[in-house]
Amino acid sequence: MTPRAPAERPPVVLYLTWLVLIGAAVGGFLTGEFSITFVGVGTLLLSLVPIWLGERVGVTLPTAFVSAIAAFLCATLLLGEVGDFYERYWWWDVVLHGGSAIGFGLVGSLLMLMLVKGERLTAAPLTVAFFAFCFAVMIGAVWEIWEFTLDQVFGLNTQKSGLVDTMWDLIVDTLGALIGAGAGWAYLKGRQNGPLTRAIHAFVDKNRRLFGDD
């Protein structure tokens, strides 16, 4: 039987993220910047969706997963769009693309682990990693198609410098996907000392029935 993951630390990042969002919403209301209030409240509600959805489908999300999702939403919607971080800091988009790609690489690894651990599929660790990598890159490519569609249909400028921006996004997505998929490979190889493999371990430990380990 797979050993249980150590007890989780208090969700400091999650609480701080919620505090920032609430502060932004209140501050926007007091100063008459209602667009900030709208984004702050909307982002806060979106950060609660994974918890709500997890309860509905019977999946328990570790604190690290929920915290990462909330922090990402805050970084891209509040800081990135309202705070104009995308324009102020050239590396902001790179960090978020890389982070999301790592996350989707982990999701792809977990999807494959559900099949492998549940004995619905036989696959080597390298096969699991390959699927996770392809899954994450696919999500990145679909996002670029979405941005292109928005620019063409609504006259927006989400792709900034066009082809150059798109290619750098895809390159960063690919590197992030490689890291996330590599974590899945490392987990199956018994190398669970890194933060990403510990995150996978925590998810598996909280949802043993999904992995055929009751």
- What is the distance between the alpha carbons of residues 142 and 126, in angstroms, rounded to a whole number? 24
What secondary structure does DSSP assign to 21-49, as a single string?
A: HHHHHHHHHHHT-HHHHHHHHHHHHHHHH
Residue 5 is given by DSSP the state: P
Task: Please tell me whether residues 125 and 177 are part of one structural domain.
Answer: yes
Instruction: Let me know whether 205 and 106 are in one domain.
Output: yes
Q: How far apart are CA 49 and CA 41, in angstroms?
A: 13
What is the total residue count of the chain?
A: 214
If asked whether residues 186 and 100 sit together in one domain, one would say yes
Please say which residue of 58, 89, 120 terminates a domain.
89
Q: 77 with 114, same domain?
A: no
Measure the N-to-C terminal CA separation of the chain; round to a whole number of Å. Answer: 9
Residues 78 and 121 in one domain: no
Q: Indicate whether 96 and 72 sit together in one domain.
A: no
**Cα dist. 176→92, 104, 151 in Å?**
15, 9, 25
Helices (H), 58-123: 63-73, 85-88, 92-117
Are residues 25 and 111 both part of a single domain? no
Spatial contact of 159 and 148, defined as CB atoms under 8 Å apart: yes
Q: Are residues 84 and 104 in the same domain?
A: no
Same domain, 100 and 204: yes
Residue 105 one-letter amino acid: G
Kindly state whether residues 85 and 107 are assigned to the same domain: no
**Last residue of a domain, which of 41, 62, 89?**
89
Residue-wise pLDDT tens for the chain (214 aa)? 444 544 455 578 899 999 999 999 999 999 999 989 999 999 999 999 998 998 898 898 888 899 999 999 999 989 988 888 988 998 999 999 999 999 999 999 998 888 877 666 667 889 999 999 999 999 999 989 988 888 888 887 777 777 888 899 999 999 999 999 999 999 989 887 889 999 999 999 999 888 876 5
Residue that finishes a domain, picked among 89, 120, 138:
89
Residues 60, 136, single domain; the answer is no
The domain of 23 spans 1-89
| Residue showing tokens 């055929």 | 212
3-state class percentages of the chain: helix first, strand second, coil last, to nearest 5: 80, 0, 20
The CA-based diameter of the chain, rounded to the nearest angstrom, is: 58
Asked whether residue 6 falls in the same domain as residue 16, the answer is yes
Q: Is the dihedral of CA 85, 89, 90, 95 positive or negative?
A: negative
Number of domains into which the chain is organized: 2
pTM above 0.75, yes or no: yes
Enter the DSSP assignment of 159. Answer: T
